[in-house]
Amino acid sequence: MTIDAFIDRLPKVELHVHLVGSASVPTVLELSLRHPGSGVPSTEEELRQFYTFRDFPHFAEVYRAVNSLVREPEDVASLVTGLARDLSPQNCRYVELQVTPYAHWMQGLPMRAVTEALDLAARRSLDEYGVEMAYIFDIPGEFGAEAAAITLDHALKEPPAALVGFGIGGIEQARPAYREAFREAFSAARAAGLHSVPHGGEMSGPETVWEVIEGYGAERIGHGINCLDDPRLVSYLRETQLPLDVCPTSNVCTGQVGRIEDHPLPRLLEEGLFVTLNSDDPPMFATTLEREYRVAATVFGLGESELAALAGNAVRASYMSEERKRELLAEIDALR
């Protein structure tokens, strides 16, 4: 079996992908034409140029512009089922999709309407594409205490049935100004039974990773690649096996890593850290979950055993049922 054939057959789990960032180019063009005046290009060539990012703040600006196109509950549902449609041919079985309720609140969408759209889309994703959909509610950190309060309110009062986690993303350097608000929001979310899955160490240093561990009770960390700058943190992550959801192509496209060849994925593995492989915002970065596995093979030289281990890590780090985990792990082991 070739490595490409092995990757095709490998059952996959996507743990780090964003709702708006998962919108395919045709979907964005359709929404842009439907909602003119948003600042988002309405031709494919212009949109691909629009997706060329100078740095992370520019990426965040583009992301917010695309999010402004999501104005109706039907738009939310279409994005979810569109992601399931894209992931199904990649042999992806389960997704934990990051949703930002504050962004939909800013567009005037009622919490109940968003939740109904997410519930409907989860059922359709499984029925039509065989992809099980779970949700993580995500605070956009640069919007501060208000965003934390709105996100928590939605999670506690009007949660979709498949809500499993509570997170935070956005510009990490903005977080210290709202430290207590974010800590309190995560404390309340965990008390309600939600898993803590914040971003950390993507565009800032180890101090942000320590903060999400100590202040947010992180059970899994989005990105975390800058942990390598702190030997004590690396030792802690190795000992606890706290999972890191790593997104190599994303880190290059947002300017966090200069070249894909310089990505720290190999060193993270060499250090014995618990790593999963993910796509983050695939159409914006011209990637897919399957392509991230191909990059791991062709750029970093990972073989079948290492790729299967990454796929197994994603299953173990997920919040799917234990029975479903056993089934998928058995499938993965059968390919070794």
Transcribe 265-319 into DSSP letters. HHHHHHTT--EEE--BSGGGGT--HHHHHHHHHHTT---HHHHHHHHHHHHHHS-
Q: What is the dihedral of CA 118, 119, 123, 125, to 10 degrees?
A: 10
Q: Return the pLDDT at 150.
A: 98
Full-model pTM: 0.94
Residues annotated as catalytic are 202
Residue type, 271: E
Asked whether 182 and 170 are in contact (CB, 8 A), the reply is: no
Q: Return the pLDDT at 54.
A: 81
Q: Return the pLDDT at 49.
A: 84
Q: What is the dihedral of CA 123, 128, 133, 137, to 10 degrees?
A: -70
CA distance 167 to 154: 13
Q: Return the pLDDT at 108.
A: 93
Q: Return the pLDDT at 76.
A: 93
Asked whether 69 and 35 are in contact (CB, 8 A), the reply is: yes
Q: What is the dihedral of CA 250, 335, 275, 249, to 10 degrees?
A: -10
- Which residues lie below 8 Å from residue 37, measured CB to CB, with a gap of 6+? none
Q: Return the pLDDT at 180.
A: 98
Q: Return the pLDDT at 260.
A: 98
Q: Return the pLDDT at 30.
A: 79
Q: Return the pLDDT at 25.
A: 79
- Domain 3-335, architecture per CATH: Alpha-Beta Barrel (3.20)
- Which residues lie below 8 Å from residue 180, measured CB to CB, with a gap of 6+? none
The bridge status of strand 221-223 relative to strand 163-169 is unpaired
pLDDT tens for the chain, residues 1 to 336: 899 999 999 999 999 999 988 888 777 887 888 887 777 888 888 888 888 888 878 888 888 888 888 888 998 998 999 999 999 999 999 999 999 999 999 989 999 999 999 999 999 999 999 999 999 999 999 999 999 999 999 999 999 999 999 999 999 999 999 999 999 999 999 999 999 999 999 999 999 999 999 999 999 999 999 999 999 999 999 999 999 999 999 999 989 999 999 999 999 999 999 999 999 999 889 899 999 999 999 999 999 999 999 999 999 999 999 999 999 999 999 997
DSSP 64: H
So where are the chain's domains? Answer: 3-335
